[in-house]
Chain A
Amino acid sequence: MSQREEAELSLAEPIQQMPALVNADAALVRRGRFVSTEFMLGISATPYYISIVNGQIAGLQRGPLVMRSWSFAIRGGEDVWRRYWQPLPPPHFHDIFALTKRGEFQIDGEYRTLMTNLLYFKALLAAPRRLAAGAR
C-alpha cells in the first residue's frame, strides 16, 4: 500500500475490522482472558462502544447512545487515530500514553481495568496497524 493510500485509509475500516483482528489472535485473546468489560473508543465526536468478554471482542456499537456506560474511554481526533494506526507510526503517535502526554488522546474513567491489563489493551488498540501493513 502506498503512503497516499495509507493516508486515505478510512477510519471506519480499522474500527470494523478490530473484532476480527483481535478474535483471530489467539495469543492476544489469551493475554486478555481475564478481561470482561465495556470501554469506549472515541474518534472525534463519534463514540464506539466495545464489549470484551474473556479477551474476545463480543460487541462493537457505533454511538452516540444516550445513557450507555463504559469502564474507561480513550478519545482522540480522526487525524490522530489515523497516524496512530499507521504500520510504523511516527514518534509520539506510536503509544497511547505518548499521545496522552501530548494532549492528543484523552483517557477517562476507571483506570484500574486498563492498567491491570495494559499490554492487552495496548495490543488491542494497535491491532488495526496490521491492516495498513498489508496483512489483508
Chain B
Amino acid sequence: MTAEIDAVVGRYVHLTLGGRPHRIYFEEAGSGIPLLCLHTAGADGRQFRHLMVDSAITDHFRVIAFDLPWHGKSTPPDGWQDEEYQLTTDAYVEAIRTFRDALELERPIVLGCSIGGRIVLNLAMRHGSEFRGLIGLDSAAYQTGWYDTSWLHRPDVHGGEVCAGIVSGLIAPQSPDVSRWETLWQYMQSGPGVFKGDIYFYRIDSDLRDALSAVDTRICPLYLMTGEYDYSCTPEDTIATANRIPGAEVIVMKEVGHFAMSENPQQFRRYILPVLETLRTKA
C-alpha cells in the first residue's frame, strides 16, 4: 500500500467518572515513556496530532491524548440533554487519574494546555509522586474571569463561530494559516456550551497561589511554558506562578500564542523537544 497513513491509533475506553459510565475516546502513537496530553477548553485531543507523527518524540514516548467527556469523540453522559456542563477541578483530576489507571500508564509525563495547563498545577499539588514530570502550557495559578462568557452559549449566536472568533485572538500572527484555521475548526466543532463549561473551571478554585507550597519539584519536575502572544494567560502570569514554586522551570515561547502544539507545530517542537529529552534522561 502506498497511501500515507499516520501511525496514530484511536480507540474507546469505558470508564466510570463521577459514578456514571463514560465512553472515552483516545488516540496514541509511539512507544516508551507514557506522555499523556490534555487538550484545551472547548477542543479535543486532535490538538496533539503533530506530536504523534514526530519520530523524535514517538521513538521514545508513547504519546496519548484522550478527549474529556463531552469533547471530541467522547460522548457526554446519559441525560446530558437536561444538564448544564460545568467542569470542576475534582472531576478533571478524577478523569485524568482514572484514564491513566485504566490504561495502566506507569508514572506518565503529563503535558496539558490551557485548562490542561492549570490542572497540571493541581496534579503537582495533590499527586506529584504519581507522575514522572508535569508540563503546563499557558499555566497560571491565578486567573479571574475577564469576559462575559454568556456569549459562548446562546441560541441567537452560533456557538462554534463565536468560540472560534474569540480564541482566534489567542493565536500568534506568525502562526501558519493552515494550522491557525485547523485549530479554529476544532473550536467550531465543539458541542454547544462545552467551551463555556470548561471555562467555568477557572471560576472555581480560581486562586491556587497560596496552595502552591504543596508542590515539590524534587518529587516531580514541573515545566511551565507559555506563548508570548497569549493574552489570556500571559507570560507574566506564568512567571508569577513559577516564582512561588522552587525548582519550577519557565519557558516563554516566542512567536506562538495559546495553542502552541496546534497553531505552530514546528515552533513548538523547538521548545518541547529539549524538555522531553531532559525528562527522558532523568528517567
Residues on A close to B: CB < 8 A? 87-89, 91-92, 94-98, 101-102, 111-112, 115-116, 118-119, 122
B156 close to chain A: CB less than 8 A: yes
Given A88-B173, A97-B147, A119-B168, 5 more pairs with CB closer than 8 A: A89-B173, A91-B231, A97-B231, A101-B147, A101-B231
Number of interface residues of B (CB under 8 A): 20
B8 close to chain A: CB less than 8 A: no
Contact of A101 among B146, B151, B162, B228 (CB under 8 A): B146
Contact of A94 among B151, B164, B229 (CB under 8 A): B229
Of the candidates A96, A98, A102, the one having the most CB atoms from chain B within 10 angstroms of its own CB is A98
Residues on B close to A: CB < 8 A? 146-147, 151, 156-158, 161-162, 164-166, 168-170, 172-174, 228-229, 231
Q: Which residues of chain A are near B147, meaning CB under 8 Å?
A: 97, 101
Q: Is the CB of B157 within 8 A of A115?
A: yes
Contacts A91-B229, A91-B231, A95-B231 given; indicate if A119 touches B164 (C-beta within 8 A): yes
| Closest Cβ–Cβ distance, residue B254 to chain A (whole Å) | 10
Q: Is the CB of B165 within 8 A of A118?
A: yes
Q: Which residues of chain A are near B231, meaning CB under 8 Å?
A: 91-92, 95, 97-98, 101-102
Closest-by-CB residue of A relative to B255 is: A88
Contact of A122 among B151, B156, B165, B228 (CB under 8 A): B165
17 A/B residue pairs, CB under 8 Å, sorted by A? A88-B173, A91-B229, A91-B231, A94-B172, A97-B147, A97-B231, A101-B147, A111-B151, A115-B151, A115-B157, A115-B162, A115-B165, A116-B162, A118-B161, A118-B168, A119-B164, A122-B165
- Report the separation of the CA atoms of residues A11 and B169 in the bound assembly, to the nearest whole angstrom: 22
| Closest Cβ–Cβ distance, residue B23 to chain A (whole Å) | 33
Q: Is the CB of B157 within 8 A of A112?
A: yes
Q: Is the CB of A119 within 8 A of B161?
A: yes
Closest-by-CB residue of A relative to B147 is: A97
Contact of A97 among B158, B166, B172 (CB under 8 A): B166
Q: Is the CB of A98 within 8 A of B165?
A: no
Q: Which residues of chain B are near A88, meaning CB under 8 Å?
A: 173-174
Contacts A116-B156, A116-B157 given; indicate if A94 touches B166 (C-beta within 8 A): no
Q: Which residues of chain B are near A116, meaning CB under 8 Å?
A: 156-158, 161-162
- Report the separation of the CA atoms of residues A97 and B171 in the bound assembly, to the nearest whole angstrom: 12
| Closest Cβ–Cβ distance, residue A110 to chain B (whole Å) | 13
- Report the separation of the CA atoms of residues A89 and B162 in the bound assembly, to the nearest whole angstrom: 23
Q: Which residues of chain A are near B156, meaning CB under 8 Å?
A: 112, 116
Contact of A91 among B146, B166, B168, B228 (CB under 8 A): B228
